[in-house]
């Protein structure tokens, strides 16, 4: 891994798309402002539509201004951007792209270091990588890296096929599979909270933890992504990647050292230890939901089946809740509950670690129980941790009251948490793949997910839509915990 800012050329396939506009250009700009880009860098945008370099530069400036709500302070930044119109399925135009890259290497004195960022629909990934190789764009004197967006396949079989295709042109070490949750500040903090605090690690097991809950709720619907989403659903869109990655970080053993390989290898062990769910058991462990009409912050919104590019009889889930068991020594018997969905009450990602009750309650000699100790990791929009304890109620003799120890990361003045994409792009430039997903993790995640999606694809959900937009999902998601004697901790207010 390189700690200096290496000279590099970034080629973004899909440069006129939504992801490039909303996330990639603003992130590159922030890296530039912070001095994290070498002065010798260039970005080449690739897409089909015809644009001149100047038009593309104006487009990039506008994207950054829309995202930062500020005027671009440094015009010289966009002079590093170039555009090349190309249909990725047509072999002929790769040669012109190759010549452009060689010219830019010479102009910026870049020693052939290339990042190929595929911000395009996944059906093009294999075609692009095979052309990059056959047309000689990967034959460079410097390093080459492939950044690949999700979804990585549709199931294990398609993911294996895709992996086989991209591995013809890039080695595993050169492939950076993006999971943007791994770039989030508080997701990266999970490891530090666990492994840098003497008070948590000894308790981090089935003797002291009763259950762990991970919620990632959104208020947005499918927006203009109906075409993609209706073939994906929440299980593939959020659970196979982001939710399982958070489970792996929470459950993994301490790595021998903080190297990419050591951390990944511990995460893979967790994913492999997930108790497989057979077809017959899906209903016992998983709940699916689809939003109907409702209200989000007082505004009426349409149901999922009325969204653009969505089948009006769609069977696609926009909500998933699940109970995961990790069959290893540390976690045997501890349920990890996950839930995620669109058009829910609020936008929030939180992890709640609920500790077991104390063995005997000295303070209430009645049936009343003390509040359980909770460790809450606030991922977004607020970032921080809260530890829920019990203390003596002031004045009254030996009565307890729940108290909270709070740390808020994004409340500290002057701290502007970097965007996930900003951190991940920077890691990729330095060759640090720790916060990217290794093929073994992808494969293990699909193996776990496939039986669930197979059952859901083959059985029509008769009760869809089964939750109102603006709610916390279907009732069955609450019942999933109730039958184990737990409940979802609320996202706001008390925690
Ligand atoms: N948008 C988001 O928030 C997120 C997106 N992703 C992933 O990122 C990837 C891109 O998504 P997104 O930006 O939303 O997609 P868009 O549909 O907005 O953009 C697609 C891009 O691909 C280009 N394109 C399409 N066909 C071709 C072709 N044959 N040859 C060359 N260029 C082509 C389009 O430009 P043109 O029409 O000019 O050719 C456009 O630039 C997807 O894999 C998606 O799953 C992942 C997480 C979040
Ligand atoms: O990957 C995805 O994530 C977003 C949610 O990301 P967040 O950072 O806003 O929590 C989700 O909306 C989208 O459907 C999914 O593809």
For the CA of 17, the nearest ligand: 1
Task: Answer yes or no: is pLDDT of 434 > 60.
Answer: yes
Report pLDDT for 81: 97
Q: Does ligand 2 lie within 6 Å of residue 419's CB atom?
A: no
Phi/psi for 114 (5° steps) reads -130, 130
From the CA atom positions of the chain, what is the Rg in Å?
Answer: 24
CATH superfamily placement of domain 182-483:
Dihydrodipicolinate Reductase; domain 2 (3.30.360.10)
- Contact (Cβ atoms closer than 8 angstroms) between residue 152 and residue 466: no
Which candidate in 80, 84, 154, 242 is catalytic? 242
> By C-alpha distance, which of 393, 388, 360, 384 is closest to 372?
388
150 vs 159, which has greater pLDDT?
159
Calpha distance 481→490 (Å, rounded) = 13
The band of 369, judged by pLDDT with boundaries at 50, 70 and 90, is low
Calpha distance 184→193 (Å, rounded) = 14
Check whether 87 is labelled as a binding-site residue: yes
* CA dihedral of 329, 335, 339, 345, whole degrees rounded to 10: -130
Check whether 218 is labelled as a binding-site residue: yes
Report pLDDT for 400: 83
Angstrom CA distances, 383 to 83, 119, 378, 379, stand at 37, 28, 5, 5
Task: Answer yes or no: is pLDDT of 428 > 70.
Answer: yes
Give buried/exposed letters for 413-423 (b at 16+ CB in 10 A, else e): eeeeebbbbbb
Question: What tokens does 486 get?
Answer: 């737990």
Arithmetic mean of pLDDT, 212-240: 96
Arithmetic mean of pLDDT, 124-153: 95
Task: Answer yes or no: is pLDDT of 414 > 90.
Answer: no
Cα of 124 vs centre of ligand 1, distance in Å, is: 10
Task: Answer yes or no: is pLDDT of 367 > 60.
Answer: no
Task: Answer yes or no: is pLDDT of 415 > 70.
Answer: no
Check whether 146 is labelled as a binding-site residue: no
Element (H, E) at 252: none
- Contact (Cβ atoms closer than 8 angstroms) between residue 128 and residue 48: no
Task: Answer yes or no: is pLDDT of 175 > 60.
Answer: yes
- Of ligand 2's listed atoms, the one at least distance from the Cα of 242 is 1
User: C-alpha 209: how far from its chain's center?
Assistant: 25
**Which residue pairs from 190-197 have beta carbons closer than 8 angstroms and sit at least 24 positions apart in sequence?**
190/246, 190/249, 190/250, 190/351, 190/377, 191/249, 191/258, 191/263, 193/375, 193/377, 193/385, 194/250, 194/254, 195/254
For the CA of 245, the nearest ligand: 2
Report pLDDT for 258: 87
| % of residues, the chain, pLDDT over 90 | 84
Question: To test the ligand 2 pocket, which listed residue (23, 242, 243, 445) has its Cβ within 8 A of the most ligand atoms?
Answer: 242
* CA dihedral sign of residues 202, 203, 204, 207: positive
For the CA of 237, the nearest ligand: 2
- Of ligand 2's listed atoms, the one at least distance from the Cα of 349 is 10
Report pLDDT for 413: 60
Q: Does ligand 1 lie within 6 Å of residue 17's CB atom?
A: yes
Question: To test the ligand 1 pocket, which listed residue (121, 125, 228, 233) has its Cβ within 8 A of the most ligand atoms?
Answer: 121
Q: Does ligand 2 lie within 6 Å of residue 383's CB atom?
A: no
Report pLDDT for 4: 65
Report pLDDT for 363: 66
The band of 365, judged by pLDDT with boundaries at 50, 70 and 90, is low
Report pLDDT for 494: 55
DSSP string, 153-177: -SSHHHHHHHHHHHHTTS-GGGEEE
Calpha distance 34→287 (Å, rounded) = 44
Element (H, E) at 430: helix 420-430
ipTM for the assembly = 0.97
> By C-alpha distance, which of 44, 54, 57 is closest to 96?
44
Q: Are strands 144-148 and 209-217 parallel, antiparallel or unpaired?
A: unpaired
Query: What rounded mean pLDDT belongs to the chain?
Result: 93
- Of ligand 2's listed atoms, the one at least distance from the Cα of 342 is 12
Report pLDDT for 358: 82
Cα of 415 vs centre of ligand 2, distance in Å, is: 23
Q: What value, to the nearest 5°, has the Cα angle with vertex 280 and ends 275 and 284?
A: 65
Calpha distance 266→380 (Å, rounded) = 25
Report pLDDT for 418: 75
Question: What tokens does 279 get?
Answer: 């077809």
Cα of 18 vs centre of ligand 1, distance in Å, is: 7
Cα of 484 vs centre of ligand 2, distance in Å, is: 29
Q: What value, to the nearest 5°, has the Cα angle with vertex 323 and ends 321 and 328?
A: 150
The band of 370, judged by pLDDT with boundaries at 50, 70 and 90, is confident
Angstrom CA distances, 366 to 189, 296, 391, 436, stand at 39, 42, 18, 51
242 is catalytic: yes
Q: Does ligand 1 lie within 6 Å of residue 47's CB atom?
A: yes
What fold does the segment set 8-149 form as a domain? Rossmann fold (3.40.50)
Q: Does ligand 1 lie within 6 Å of residue 14's CB atom?
A: yes
Report pLDDT for 1: 54
- Contact (Cβ atoms closer than 8 angstroms) between residue 340 and residue 351: no
Q: Are strands 319-325 and 299-301 parallel, antiparallel or unpaired?
A: unpaired
Task: Answer yes or no: is pLDDT of 412 > 80.
Answer: no
Q: Which residue is closest in CA terms to ligand 2's atom 3?
A: 238
Edge-to-edge strands of the sheet including 348-355? 286-289, 319-325, 335-341, 209-217, 348-355, 374-380, 384-392, 400-408
pLDDT, one tens digit per residue, over 310-358 is: 999 999 999 999 999 999 999 999 999 999 999 999 999 999 999 998 8
> By C-alpha distance, which of 211, 219, 188, 375 is closest to 295?
219
Report pLDDT for 298: 95
Q: Which residue is closest in CA terms to ligand 1's atom 2?
A: 19
For the CA of 216, the nearest ligand: 2
Report pLDDT for 364: 60
Check whether 133 is labelled as a binding-site residue: no
Report pLDDT for 495: 59
- Contact (Cβ atoms closer than 8 angstroms) between residue 426 and residue 36: yes
Phi/psi for 400 (5° steps) reads -105, 155
Task: Answer yes or no: is pLDDT of 359 > 60.
Answer: yes
Arithmetic mean of pLDDT, 206-235: 96
Secondary structure (3-state) at 419: coil
Cα of 11 vs centre of ligand 1, distance in Å, is: 14
Q: Does ligand 2 lie within 6 Å of residue 237's CB atom?
A: yes
Check whether 17 is labelled as a binding-site residue: yes
**All structural domains of the chain with their residue ranges:** 8-149, 182-483
Calpha distance 371→403 (Å, rounded) = 9
């Amino acid at each position: 891994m390189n700690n200096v800012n290496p000279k590099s050329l970034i080629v973004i396939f899909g440069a006129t798309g939504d992801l490039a506009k909303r996330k990639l250009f603003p992130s590159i700009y922030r890296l530039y402002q912070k001095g994290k880009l070498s002065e010798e860098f260039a970005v080449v945008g690739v897409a089909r539509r015809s644009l001149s370099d100047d038009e593309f530069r104006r487009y990039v400036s506008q994207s950054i201004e829309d995202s930062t709500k500020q005027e671009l302070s440094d015009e010289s930044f966009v002079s590093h951007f170039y555009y090349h119109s190309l249909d990725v399925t047509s072999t002929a135009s790769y040669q012109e792209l190759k010549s452009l890259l060689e010219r830019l290497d010479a102009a910026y004195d870049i020693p052939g270091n290339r990042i190929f960022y595929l911000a395009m629909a996944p059906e093009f990934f294999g075609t692009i990588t095979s052309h990059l190789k056959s047309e000689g764009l990967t034959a460079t004197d410097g390093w080459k890296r492939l950044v690949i967006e999700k979804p990585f396949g549709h199931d294990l079989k398609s993911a294996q096929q895709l992996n086989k295709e991209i591995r013809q042109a890039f080695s595993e070490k050169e492939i950076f599979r993006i999971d943007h949750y791994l770039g989030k500040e508080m997701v990266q903090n999970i490891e530090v909270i666990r492994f840098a605090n003497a008070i948590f690690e000894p308790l981090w097991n089935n003797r002291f933890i009763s259950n762990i809950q991970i919620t990632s709720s959104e208020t947005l619907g499918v927006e203009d992504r109906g075409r993609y989403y209706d073939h994906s659903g929440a299980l593939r869109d959020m659970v196979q990647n982001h939710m399982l990655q958070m489970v792996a970080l929470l459950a993994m053993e301490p790595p021998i050292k903080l190297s990419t390989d050591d951390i990944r290898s511990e995460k893979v062990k967790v994913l492999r230890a997930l108790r497989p769910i057979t077809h017959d058991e899906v209903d016992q462990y998983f709940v699916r939901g689809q939003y109907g009409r409702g209200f989000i912050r007082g505004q009426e919104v349409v149901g999922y089946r009325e969204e653009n590019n969505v089948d009006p009889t769609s069977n696609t889930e926009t909500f998933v809740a699940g109970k995961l068991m990790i069959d290893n020594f540390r976690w045997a018997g501890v349920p990890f509950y996950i839930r995620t969905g669109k058009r829910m009450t609020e936008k929030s990602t939180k992890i709640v670690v609920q500790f077991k009750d104390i063995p005997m309650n000295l303070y209430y000699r009645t049936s009343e129980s003390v509040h359980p100790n909770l460790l809450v990791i606030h991922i977004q929009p607020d970032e921080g941790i809260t530890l829920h304890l019990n203390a003596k109620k002031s004045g009254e003799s030996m009565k307890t009251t729940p108290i909270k120890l709070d740390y808020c990361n994004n409340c500290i003045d002057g701290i502007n948490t970097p965007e996930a994409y900003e951190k991940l792009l920077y890691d990729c430039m330095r060759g640090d793949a720790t916060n990217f997903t290794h093929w073994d993790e992808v494969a293990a995640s699909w193996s776990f997910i496939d039986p669930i999606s197979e059952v859901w694809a083959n059985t029509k959900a008769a009760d869809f839509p089964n939750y109102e937009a603006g709610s916390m999902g279907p009732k069955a998601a609450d019942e999933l915990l109730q039958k184990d004697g737990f409940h979802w901790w609320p996202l706001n207010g008390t925690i």
